[in-house]
Structure 1
Amino acid sequence: MAFQPEPLVTGDAVQLDVSIAQLPVRALAALIDVTVMAAGYAVLTVLWALTLRDFDPALSAAVLIIFMVLVLVGYPVVFETATRGRSLGKMALGLRVVSDDGGPERLRQAAFRALSSVIEIWMLTGGPAVICSMLSPRGKRIGDVFAGTMVISERAPRLNPPPPMPPELAWWAATLQLSGLGPEQADMARQFLSRATGLEPGLREQMGRRIAADVAARISPPPPPDVPPELMLAAVLAERHRRELARLQARLPS
């Protein structure tokens, strides 16, 4: 199931155009992690058999349980926290866990995801995780929903950054209400502006007017009279980007 690129703002207040990780790629990364975890548990079990099998049965059983917890919970928590959202499987396939605002995954979030995986992946063989990922617009499994995270692909193609603000429209852009402008319209406008110079003039003008009209219908106040569509779209995207950065910076600790 493919997910389209969408703009995110990282914890360093830098906008990235990234793709939500596709389910098959996540499944392959999970398979790599499962293999690593199974190998780690096998090594620990051999050590247990060589050193503790002659001890009290209750103690031996407790040690095995501790080993299992270390593998199922400790491995993802330690790796994802130390590498800012990547396990060995995710490293291999270019995936990363990030917060919903695009910032780095936190220790609490890694713990939520790991504890949830014990139930939805290990106990229930991954069924709930797959169903939830298919239904979620951002491909989230249950652990991501509770932790406030998502998995992105760092190797997917990125979109062009937003254009600079046209100076003559900065005053108008500062007054805009942008709540009605969705990511789909912003993405279409960004792609058009990035490719406009390579289009045939007639098609460029036709597409520019159509996209500008769609965007103008979702914002207020309307653009000043006789503003070229491409300048209007550039102003809207630049102002949208500026507000996203300002919103995130206001939440960052000083």
Structure 2
Amino acid sequence: MNEDHLDIKTPEFVSIQFQIAGLGSRSAAFIIDQLLLMAFNILSLIVLFFVLDGMSKMEFIFIGNSLPIAITIIVLFLVNGGYFFAYEFFSGGRTLGKKLMGIRVIQENGHSITLLSSFIRNLIRIIDSLPTAYFLGIIMIFFHSKHKRLGDLVAGTIVVHERKAKRKKKLSPLENELNNRGLSKDDLILDEWTLKSLGMKDWKLVKTYASRFLQIPLDERNQLTEQIAVILFPKVGLDPSGKATDELENNLLVLYLVLLEEWEFEL
């Protein structure tokens, strides 16, 4: 196996290859994230200055300048400390910097990063930043065969380049059906909490439905549509009652497109 690639075998013994992100792309993503955090920090301090400058003498006597400063310190601590942890978990292993560089954090088995892994990975970031300027992390990434820093080793994660889905020149029957119906993933907007509440079983259910959609007889399809809608719609805030079968079908197919983007990297 090439040291810059990671081969993962699925339970069906199908090999999937990921390109491992090296020091260059990871450093660029980190610099972008740090610039964003720096801009936020500077803006927060400017706001604090104007708040203190605008306080009246009475406010200063009774409140003092300690409360605005304490609030600012707490906000800066939460944002700077939780930025990487929250973004990597809720955005599929990608901070803003990683999105721009086309890389993401995943589990070593190819699955999306978990809450615990994200927490451990970014907690160890404190050690990786020692003794200064992220020196230990840079050395680890440079010399490790899979370009891992200490946080990746402990959390069981790895940073890879985004796998671009290869589009066939000729659209599949399902893609043609979606185009004919004028459906896209933008027809259903789900927040991150709702997306995270849908698990592997939900994805496999809607994926099986979409893959069999054009093959099963109409009567059986109508019955299956109603059954799956009753199971999945409440989880995404939709009410299946009183809706025509065509509308239920469209909603399920759009849900498939939304989850496809979320689960396309899953094995």
| TM-score bucket (shorter structure) | 0.5 to 0.7
* Cα distance change, pair 22–57 in 1 and its aligned pair in 2 (3 A): same
Q: Please state how far the C-alpha of 1:122 moved relative to its aligned partner.
A: 7.5
Q: Please state how far the C-alpha of 1:140 moved relative to its aligned partner.
A: 0.8
Preserved CA contact (<8 Å) 2:20 2:159: yes
* Cα distance change, pair 79–142 in 1 and its aligned pair in 2 (3 A): same
Q: Please state how far the C-alpha of 1:85 moved relative to its aligned partner.
A: 0.1
User: Is the partner of 1:96 in helix, strand or coil?
Assistant: strand
Q: Do residues 20 (structure 1) and 20 (structure 2) align?
A: yes
Q: Please state how far the C-alpha of 1:68 moved relative to its aligned partner.
A: 2.8
Q: What does 1:195-206 correspond to in 2, within 5 Å?
A: none
* Cα distance change, pair 129–5 in 1 and its aligned pair in 2 (3 A): same
Counterpart AA for 1:94: G
Aligned to 1:42: 42
Q: Aligned to 2:106, which of 98, 118, 126?
A: 98
Q: Aligned to 1:75, which of 70, 80, 83?
A: 83
Q: Please state how far the C-alpha of 1:77 moved relative to its aligned partner.
A: 1.7
Mark the runs of 5 or more structure 1 residues left unpaired by the alignment. Answer: 159-251
| Bigger shift: residues 19-28 or 48-57 | 48-57
Greater relative contact order (Cα < 8 A, sep 6+): 1
CA distance in 1, matches of 2:150, 2:71: 29
Q: Do residues 139 (structure 1) and 175 (structure 2) align?
A: no
Q: What does 1:213-228 correspond to in 2, within 5 Å?
A: none
Aligned to 2:129: 121
Q: Do residues 7 (structure 1) and 15 (structure 2) align?
A: no
CA distance in 2, matches of 1:134, 1:28: 14
Q: Deviations over 1:183-238 (max 9, x none)?
A: xxxxxxxxxxxxxxxxxxxxxxxxxxxxxxxxxxxxxxxxxxxxxxxxxxxxxxxx
Q: Please state how far the C-alpha of 1:155 moved relative to its aligned partner.
A: 5.4
CA distance in 2, matches of 1:145, 1:5: 17
User: Is the partner of 1:30 in helix, strand or coil?
Assistant: helix
User: Is the partner of 1:103 in helix, strand or coil?
Assistant: coil
Q: Do residues 148 (structure 1) and 156 (structure 2) align?
A: yes
Preserved CA contact (<8 Å) 2:125 2:151: yes
Q: Do residues 32 (structure 1) and 32 (structure 2) align?
A: yes
TM-score scaled by length of structure 1: 0.53
CA distance in 2, matches of 1:90, 1:11: 29
Q: Please state how far the C-alpha of 1:27 moved relative to its aligned partner.
A: 0.5
CA distance in 2, matches of 1:13, 1:62: 55
Q: Please state how far the C-alpha of 1:15 moved relative to its aligned partner.
A: 4.7
Q: Please state how far the C-alpha of 1:116 moved relative to its aligned partner.
A: 2.4
CA distance in 1, matches of 2:151, 2:52: 35
Preserved CA contact (<8 Å) 2:48 2:69: no
Alignment coverage as a number of residue pairs: 158
User: Is the partner of 2:158 in helix, strand or coil?
Assistant: strand
Counterpart AA for 1:149: T
* Cα distance change, pair 11–128 in 1 and its aligned pair in 2 (3 A): farther
CA distance in 2, matches of 1:42, 1:57: 19
Counterpart AA for 1:8: I
Q: Deviations over 1:128-186 (max 9, x none)?
A: 0011112322111111122111101125999xxxxxxxxxxxxxxxxxxxxxxxxxxxx
Q: Do residues 130 (structure 1) and 138 (structure 2) align?
A: yes
TM-score scaled by length of structure 2: 0.51
Q: Aligned to 1:86, which of 89, 94, 116?
A: 94
Counterpart AA for 2:105: V
Preserved CA contact (<8 Å) 1:98 1:104: yes
Preserved CA contact (<8 Å) 1:81 1:105: yes
